């Protein structure tokens, strides 16, 4: 039996996923060691390999078949636009992709004005403004703390994830428009889905049962 490889997006999603996998009987003991510098973990009995990677790299590993199965947020799936099957909504990591800014930016969104939009998600931002709102905008890619952009005058609004709304509130910003709901998803390599269908379907069904 060949190994099935899982790629998990580092952080909260991976932690939660590992607890569900454990409930299903998929234990990756060494992965729990907070001091380990190992990158890939193997469960020989179950013929399973598992690794953690930066969220934005998970769809890449899965598209190329370096991982058969991935767990990653819907935000990353939309942004990366990779060829893969999205097979399951895990229902945790819930948040919303939104256009946010100061109250004063609200009217800029209503009059087709050329504005600057800062985001860690330039593809989602472009798609929303160009194809849904039909508003021409300049999208500026940032890598974090995006809420700074409207405060320091880099952009009029941002496109970002809102979970509790605390970051917005503490920085005098608000949700101006909602783009889409997000949560953790399971993705599968398209060839693996055919070649290893029975094993993958079994894992997905077991996962559904413990959720
Ligand atoms: C995310 C997101 C928001 C914040 C939203 O950032 O980009 O900034 O969380 O959460 P809240 O609504 O609960 O306040 P993250 O913590 O990943 O940091 P980053 O901005 O540096 O990427």
pLDDT, tens only, 91-145 = 999 999 999 999 999 999 998 889 999 999 999 999 999 999 999 999 999 999 9
Rounded distance, CA 41 to CA 27, Å? Answer: 10
Report the separation in Å between the CA atom of 95 and the middle of ligand 1, taken as the mean of its atom positions: 10
The residue among 115, 96, 93, 95 whose CA lies nearest residue 106 is: 115
Report the separation in Å between the CA atom of 149 and the middle of ligand 1, taken as the mean of its atom positions: 13
Protein residue whose Cα sits closest to atom 17 of ligand 1: 144
Report the separation in Å between the CA atom of 97 and the middle of ligand 1, taken as the mean of its atom positions: 11
Rounded distance, CA 152 to CA 77, Å? Answer: 30
Protein residue whose Cα sits closest to atom 5 of ligand 1: 162
> What's the confidence (pLDDT) of residue 113?
87
The secondary structure of 2-67, three-state, reads CCEEEEEECCHHHHHHHHHHHHCCCCCHHHHCCCCCCCEEEECCCCEEEEEECHHHHHHHHHCCCC
Ligand 1 atom nearest 160 alpha carbon:
7
pTM of the model: 0.95
Report the separation in Å between the CA atom of 40 and the middle of ligand 1, taken as the mean of its atom positions: 27
% of the chain at pLDDT higher than 90: 94
> What's the confidence (pLDDT) of residue 84?
98
Report the separation in Å between the CA atom of 205 and the middle of ligand 1, taken as the mean of its atom positions: 32
Domains in the chain: ranges and CATH: 4-93+183-210 (3.40.190.10), 95-180 (3.40.190.10)
| Tens digit of pLDDT at every position of the chain (211 positions) | 999 999 999 999 999 999 999 999 999 988 888 898 999 999 999 999 999 999 999 999 999 999 999 999 999 999 999 999 999 999 999 999 999 999 999 999 998 889 999 999 999 999 999 999 999 999 999 999 999 999 999 999 999 999 999 999 999 999 999 999 999 999 999 999 999 999 999 999 999 999 8
Q: Which residues line ligand 1 (CB under 6 A)?
A: 144-147, 160-167
Ligand 1 site-directed mutation target among 167, 168, 172, 175, most atoms within 8 Å of CB? 167
Report the separation in Å between the CA atom of 119 and the middle of ligand 1, taken as the mean of its atom positions: 12
Ligand 1 atom nearest 145 alpha carbon:
20
- In order of 38, 130, 161, 169, 207, the CA distances from 97 in angstroms are 33, 16, 5, 16, 26
> What's the confidence (pLDDT) of residue 182?
98
């Amino acid at each position: 039996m060949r190994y099935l490889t899982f790629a998990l997006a580092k952080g909260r999603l991976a932690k939660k996923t590992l607890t569900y996998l454990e409930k299903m009987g998929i234990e990756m003991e060494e992965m729990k060691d907070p001091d380990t510098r190992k990158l890939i973990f193997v469960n020989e009995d179950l013929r399973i390999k598992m690794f953690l990677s930066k969220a934005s790299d998970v769809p890449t590993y899965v598209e190329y078949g370096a991982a058969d199965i991935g767990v990653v947020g819907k935000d990353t799936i939309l942004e990366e636009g990779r060829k893969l099957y999205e097979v399951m909504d895990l229902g945790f990591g819930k948040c919303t992709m939104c256009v946010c800014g100061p109250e004063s930016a609200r009217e800029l969104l209503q009059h087709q004005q050329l504005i600057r939009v800062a985001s860690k998600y330039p593809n989602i931002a472009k798609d929303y403004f160009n194809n849904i709102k039909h508003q021409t905008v300049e999208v500026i890619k940032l890598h974090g703390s995006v809420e700074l952009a409207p405060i320091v005058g880099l952009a009029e609004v941002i496109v970002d994830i809102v979970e509790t709304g605390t970051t917005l509130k503490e920085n005098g910003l608000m949700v101006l428009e909602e783009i889409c709901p997000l949560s953790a998803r399971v993705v599968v390599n398209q060839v693996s889905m055919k070649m290893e269908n029975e094993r993958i379907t079994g894992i997905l069904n077991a996962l559904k049962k413990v959720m």
